[in-house]
Amino acid sequence: MSEAMFDPARWRPGPLLPRRDARDGALIFVVGVLCFLACLTAIGALAADRAARGWTSQLSDSATVVIQPHGAETPDAAAARAAEVLAGVKGVSEARALEKEKAEALLEPWLGREALIDDLPVPRLVTVELDAKAPAKAADLDRALKAAGVDAKVDDHSVWI
């Protein structure tokens, strides 16, 4: 009796899964579903990466200038003058002043239509498209605006990219 108790064959591990069992089909199904979900995750990650690269590319080729008019100059005149100054800076392919209506449309999702009253000081914006090969730096744009006497804040979107 003591020999049967210490028989090495008795302590050998059995198969991980039973040889012929109904669980075989379920295991294959679960592995297939997991592979499908892994592929969906990979496709989602690639789509998100492509969207992020496109967004970064759009931001890196542009800048936004917020005009702060002072004195007797109207906000629209200050924005037009700033766009004219910025269009002459090396590394800028286009600079255009945004109309008041477009600036209000940008604020509408946050403030609502009712909140946009005529007395609200909506900032005037100038959008600047930079040369893709040799873009102008924010400091160059700021220097040109200061030299022309335009009070403005330049955002080159470097915080976001």
User: Which tens digit of pLDDT belongs to each residue from 121-130?
Assistant: 778 899 898 8
For residue 19, the model assigns a pLDDT of 66
Confirm or reject CATH 3.30.70.100 for domain 61-155, answering yes or no. Answer: yes
Burial class (CB in 10 A: 0-12, 13-18, 19+), 130: buried
Any idea where the domains of the chain sit in the sequence? Answer: 17-60, 61-155
Mean pLDDT of all residues in the chain? 83
Tokens of 75: 């906000």
Distances (CA, A) of 117 to 73, 99, 111, 123, 149: 21, 16, 10, 13, 29
Least reliable range by pLDDT among 19-33, 64-78, 87-101: 19-33
Give the predicted TM-score (pTM) of the model: 0.63
Q: Is the pLDDT of residue 116 over 60?
A: no
CA dihedral 118, 119, 120, 125 (to 10 degrees): 70
